[in-house]
Every structure is written in structure tokens, then in C-alpha cells.
Amino acid sequence: MNKAFKNKTWADAPACCASHHVTEHLLLKHLIRAWPIFGTCCLLAILSDSFQAHGAVNVTQHHNDLARDGLYIDPAFTTANAAGLTRDLAFNGSITGNVYAQPLYIEGGPRGLAVIIAVTESNNVYALNAVNGSVVWQINVDPPVAAGSLPCGDVSPYGITGTPVVDLPSRTLFFDALTLSPVNGSVEHLVFSVNVDTGSINPGWPVNVNSSAVSGTTKFNSTAQGERGALAVIGANLYVPYGGLYGDCGTYYGWVVGVPLNNPSHVMAWATTAHGGGAWSVGGVASDGVDPFAATGNTFGASVWGGGEAILHLSPSLVLSNGTMNYWAPTNWSSLDGSDLDIGGSGPLLVDVPGATPLNLVVALGKDGNAYLLNRTNLGGVSVPVAQAHVAGSSIIQAAATYRTGKGTYVVFANANNLYALRIGASNPPTITTVWTAAENGRGSPFVTSTGGTNNVVVWGIGSESDQRLHAFDGDTGTNVFTGGGANELMTGTRRFNTGMVARGRIYVANDNKVYAFSVPGQTVTSIILTNPGILPGGAFQFSFTNIPGANFNVFGATNLTTPFTNWIWLGGVPEVSPGQFQFTDTQAPSNSERFYIVNWQ
């Protein structure tokens, strides 16, 4: 039987609701208007659960991906918009504790909620509403460790330092916490797994690294080990890097510990054979999507190379195999050891340079002020690198970023209150050229925004422990784009080496006791104009609308218009099929009953 379709205003319906009724005829009724509730618009919409045009908007890890490139693609961040950045004064963001870790952004929670994940040295973990900064859930794990309980260090209390990671398929948050056992008072590194939507600790966790990590004959000793580097989920495993404490006290080693996501009792580990060699860089474990990469620092008393001053390419089971193919250390590693000039101060940055030979590179930045280019497919053992340049007058300690424009491939790093941009030449071998230097007025790690990946590229820095402001620069020239803003844009409690992250037209920065949110202009959702409503073959109901690019819309449905909104069913997010063009398809639309829809902006 043919179905008739007609569209008309339903005078009796509340504002911002839409109804579609399928019997032998199709009757679509809609009325669109702004709904007077914070951050909400109502209208007819389509079911889907992903952001199509630019990929899913979830910042699940440090610098946004396993390569640690620090690039965020967001259509709202044109260069002009970046210049007009302002802090969202309505964003609460209150947390308790000192912060060294980057915040995360996770969508698709209960009823489509998007949250900011923040962790602190007080061993507090927060999920904050991504729009208003209110607390969605909060947990406190075992007590952190005071400085007096450790042999040395410059962090007190010492709790959660490294940036956590979220495994989206299982919606699980992983983090390492240094704890003081309430049972026996011992210092323990515990690796936690919690439900990112509720904060509940998952069965079988936490993993006590102190009692489970062994590499050869070396046993993990939590008292001498720090965990500053970012965690990574690669395939079915979680990886956590460990170094020493500030002051290099005690007998510590460089460790990478692996835990299968579904079998936390089976702990894998690799450690330096020489004393020292901490894997302490802020960026932590990087990956090509298959294997973990890590950087190590200086070792002590080593007459033969023992794993320090190196870039490592480990197997998923944390075996350093295939001879010299899977590690690199400079030929002067022993001299660097003696001078405390770690190769591992910045962590491996995985960079592909089209037209270069080799194409697939690892960029290492050392405390010796050098930048090194390595062949990712054959690191070369103790050898000269593919390319090397002296690019800074002092130790490079931070997390670098990389990006590409029409002019080439860049690496940007922080040093001595400045940002330095290097261009990697597409030649055989590739070259390293310093292109620009700009003042970030502090010690933050850079991150990068682009509207499409290679255009409107803006490099961001944080004046950590100095002017405590965001700064932005043109990716090609270093020209100032944003110079920190006014009185409202001033932050407090910034920490060295920390970095921001970007999602949905906003920058989020987590500092001591507060997460800050900044927005670019034009992020106010406009009136929603419904277009192209209709029934698809098979009975699915679909419609479209236009609004600001990058906005996050969710759709809720009910079969009774009088149902309280808290009982409406979340049907999913609305895909952005092209910039500013949204389309939703309800594949579960009932075939012989009426359904009402609300579209909620978050």
C-alpha cells in the first residue's frame, strides 16, 4: 500500500517538539522554536551516534591520538575566531587537588551527556559536565603520598600525575595513582579501571604494580618510581610508563608496564637493564597503532648500553626484539648519561613526511637541545640518526606537537618560555629547519588547531607558571593570533609541561583546583529550521537542519508528549554530514504509533 505524506504545524503541541505518526498514511507534525532551558533546543531530528564530517569528537588520550601529534580538527577554530577567544565565565570547573595531567573529553554518556575527565594529585577523579562544568560524578581512590613518605621528589602530595586514557569501546577510564595503603602504610602504584559513565571501579582492578611487574630479575619498587607519562591503550592492552622521582633518588629503572584490558591479572613489563633510564616524558607511550614506542632517560654507571638514552619500539608483549631495528640511542649516550642530558625528556613523536625518504619518522627532542629524526621502520641501534640539528640553547622538557600545512610538515616544541617551530624537509634524507620562534610566556606544552587538518592552522601555548594565559600563533609564520585576552582570561594554578585540549569549539585547560573552558565566537546555537523530513525505504524516519559547525546535538524520543523529559529515551547524537549541516535518522521509529522528538544541544 502506498503511504501518503503531509507536513503541517501542530497547533496544540508544545514548542520544540515534533511528532511523526505512521499508519496507513504518514502524518508528520512539527513546530520548531528555542526551548527556554540552558543549552537546549527542541525540534524534530534523526538518529545516529557519531560525528560524521570530522570524526567522532572524543579526546580519549594525551595530545588527541597515539602518535601524540597534538592536532585538533575543529571547524569552529578559524584563525579569525581564534583571535576572539574568551573564557566561559559560566563554566564552573571546580575540582580539588593539583593537576599535571591533560583533561579528556568524552561524548555519548548517559542520555548523550558529554563530560570532561580531570584527575588530581589528591587522587581525585572527576567527570564534569562539558557545558557548564558541574560535577557529574567524582571518586577518590586511596590516599596520595606525602613528600615525607618518598626518598625525594618535587610533587606533594603525589597521586595521579600522568594523563589517563579512555577505551571507548568498553567506555573505560584507566589511570595510575600513587597511593599510601590504608592497610599497611606501604607506597603502591595502583592502576585503576573505572566506568567512564559512572566512576565505578571495574571488577579485577586496581592492579598493584609493586607486586605484579617483573622484568627479568628486576622487580618493580613503587617507592622509587614516578608515573608522569601519559597512558596508552593499544589494541587489547593498556600501557603505563614509569621513571624515577625528581632528584634521581633510590634504585629506579625505566619501565613500561602492560596490562591486558580483559585480563588484569596477567601483567607484562619491560625495564632497562641499567639503573636509571626513566620513561618519564609527559607524552608517555606513543604508537603507530600496533606497537608501543617509548623514550628513556639517563642511566647510572653503565659501561655498555643498558636501555637508557633511547627511543624504543617494543612489541605488544613488551619484548625488545629484532636486534637494532627496534631501538635507537645516540653514539654519545655515555656522555649524555654523565651529564644528565636525557633523550627521554620529551617522548617519541611519530611523524609522517610525504615525499621524504624515509617517510615514517620518529622525532626525538633531548635535554641536550637537539632534535633527532629516526627511521621508524628501522631505528638503527646505537648509531647516528637520519638527521640531527641543535635547535635549543637549554634542556627540552615538554610534549611536542606536529602538524602539516601547504608549506610542509612541522614540529613545534616549548623551551625557555618560547615555542619553536621546525619544518621537516621532504628530501632524502629529510632535513630540520627552524622556521619561527614565539613567546608563550611560560612552560606549557603546545597543541594545535585546524579547521580541516592543513588549513587555518593555529599553534597554542600556555604561559604555565608565568603569565598563566593562553597564547596562539599562526602555524606557518609564528605571527601572534591570540595574545592572552583580558582580565577574564587569566588562569591560576598552571603547572609546567601541561597542555590543553580542544572539543566542540572550546579549549579546556586543567589547572590546580579548576578546569577552565574557553570558547571562540559564534558558538551560540541558532534557531533550528527543519528541512527534508521524510520516511526512508524500510520505514526509518529522517530529517535535516542547519546550525553552527561542530555543535553537539542529541535526540530524545517519547511516545507520549506528557512524559517528563527525564524519562524520554536518548536516541543518539546527530551526525554533521557537512560543516553546519546535520541529519538524523530514527531507524527504530515505530511503524504504527506516534513518536515525539526533542533535539538537545550540548
Averaged over successive runs of 10 residues, the pLDDT of the chain (602 residues) comes to: 28 37 29 31 32 62 98 95 97 98 95 95 98 97 92 95 98 98 93 98 97 96 97 98 95 98 97 97 97 98 97 98 95 97 96 98 98 98 98 97 98 98 98 98 98 97 98 98 98 97 97 98 79 86 88 88 91 88 87 79 75
Q: For residues 67 and 24, state if they share a domain.
A: no
The answer to whether residue 193 sits within a structural domain is yes
**What pLDDT does residue 25 have?**
26
Q: For residues 578 and 541, state if they share a domain.
A: yes
Pair 517, 91: CB distance under 8 Å: yes
For the stretch 372-399, pLDDT in tens is: 999 999 999 999 999 999 999 999 999 9
Q: In the β-sheet with 255-260, what is the strand arrangement from edge to edge?
A: 232-234, 237-242, 255-260, 268-271
Q: For residues 42 and 79, state if they share a domain.
A: no
Q: In the listed set 476, 494, 519, which residue is the last one of a domain according to the structure?
A: 519
Across 177-193, b (16+ Cβ under 10 Å) vs e yields: bbbbbeeeeebbbbbbb
The answer to whether residue 73 sits within a structural domain is yes
**154, 157, 163, 164 alpha-carbon torsion, rounded to 10°:** 150
Pick from 115, 144, 154: nearest CA to 131: 115
Copy the grid coordinates of residue 127. Answer: 567527570
* Dihedral sign from CA coordinates of 37, 43, 77, 423: positive
For 70, the 3-state DSSP assignment is: coil
Q: In the listed set 519, 534, 551, which residue is the last one of a domain according to the structure?
A: 519
Q: How many domains does the chain have?
A: 2
CA distances for 60 relative to 56, 136, 169, 234, 328, angstroms: 11, 18, 11, 12, 29
**What pLDDT does residue 125 have?**
98
Q: What is the pTM of this model?
A: 0.90
Q: In the listed set 477, 496, 519, which residue is the last one of a domain according to the structure?
A: 519
Residue range(s) defining the domain that contains residue 570: 5-52+526-601
CA 48 to chain centre: 24
Q: For residues 339 and 405, state if they share a domain.
A: yes
Q: For residues 410 and 457, state if they share a domain.
A: yes
Q: For residues 571 and 443, state if they share a domain.
A: no
The answer to whether residue 171 sits within a structural domain is yes
Backbone φ and ψ for 593, nearest 5 degrees, come out as: -150, 170
The answer to whether residue 316 sits within a structural domain is yes
Residue with cell 621532504: 426
List of residues 6+ apart from 487 with CB closer than 8 A: none
Pick from 347, 502, 327, 481: nearest CA to 411: 347
Pair 277, 253: CB distance under 8 Å: yes
381 class by beta-carbon count within 10 Å (0-12 exposed, 13-18 middle, 19+ buried) = middle
CATH number at residue 91: 2.140.10.10
**What pLDDT does residue 592 have?**
64
Q: For residues 47 and 123, state if they share a domain.
A: no
**What pLDDT does residue 578 have?**
86
Q: For residues 579 and 465, state if they share a domain.
A: no
565 class by beta-carbon count within 10 Å (0-12 exposed, 13-18 middle, 19+ buried) = middle
Pair 297, 254: CB distance under 8 Å: yes
Query: DSSP string covering 388-456, please?
Result: EEE--SS---S--EEEEETTEEEEEEEETTEEEEEEEESSSS-EEEEEEEEE-SS-PPPEEEESSSSSS
The answer to whether residue 25 sits within a structural domain is yes
Q: For residues 341 and 219, state if they share a domain.
A: yes
The answer to whether residue 100 sits within a structural domain is yes
Distance CA 65, CA 284 (A): 12
Helices assigned H by DSSP within 464-565: none
The answer to whether residue 130 sits within a structural domain is yes
Q: For residues 489 and 585, state if they share a domain.
A: no
Strand partners, 26: 5, 22
Q: For residues 554 and 462, state if they share a domain.
A: no
The answer to whether residue 57 sits within a structural domain is no
Q: For residues 531 and 462, state if they share a domain.
A: no
CA 355 to chain centre: 29
List of residues 6+ apart from 2 with CB closer than 8 A: none
Strand partners, 72: 449
